[in-house]
Amino acid sequence: MVEYVNAKLISYVKIDFPTEAEMDSFIDMIEKNGENFYKQLKQVGLIRWRFNRVWNKKGIFEISILFEYKDEIAFTKGQKIINKIMVDNKSLFENINLNRTPSRAINILDFYDKWKI
């Protein structure tokens, strides 16, 4: 049986790009490095990571990223990892024009279906 752990802290980031080409460059970077990124954050308490392209806004190039952490400690450790990755890849991030809008939330209710493997 799969054990499902509820996230206590959620971080949601919306990233807007001026062009589709810049958004595609960012997506390519995430596709190449996403699994390693997830594994690093999972070690400190990340439960779930979702990377999405927003598609319901015509002419807008937007990505949304959802992080679900087991608690505040995991979130703080995760932020340190994310900041280090951004510093280590500064030249890459400087070449992609983007506007980030982060939001943070504390989970109050969580409805889901448990499933068995």
Report the chain (117 residues): mean pLDDT per 10 consecutive residues.
Answer: 72 94 91 94 95 88 94 94 90 83 85 63
Q: So what's the pLDDT on residue 37?
A: 94
Q: So what's the pLDDT on residue 4?
A: 61
Q: So what's the pLDDT on residue 2?
A: 55
Rounded to 5 degrees, what are φ and ψ at 112?
-160, 165
CA distances from 69 to 9, 37, 46, 76 (A): 5, 14, 4, 10
Q: So what's the pLDDT on residue 11?
A: 93
d(CA 4, CA 88) in angstroms, rounded, equals 33
Mean pLDDT of the chain: 88
Q: So what's the pLDDT on residue 35?
A: 94
Q: Is 68 exposed, middle or buried (0-12, 13-18, 19+ CB in 10 A)?
A: buried
Which ranges in 19-71 belong to alpha helices (H)? Answer: 20-42
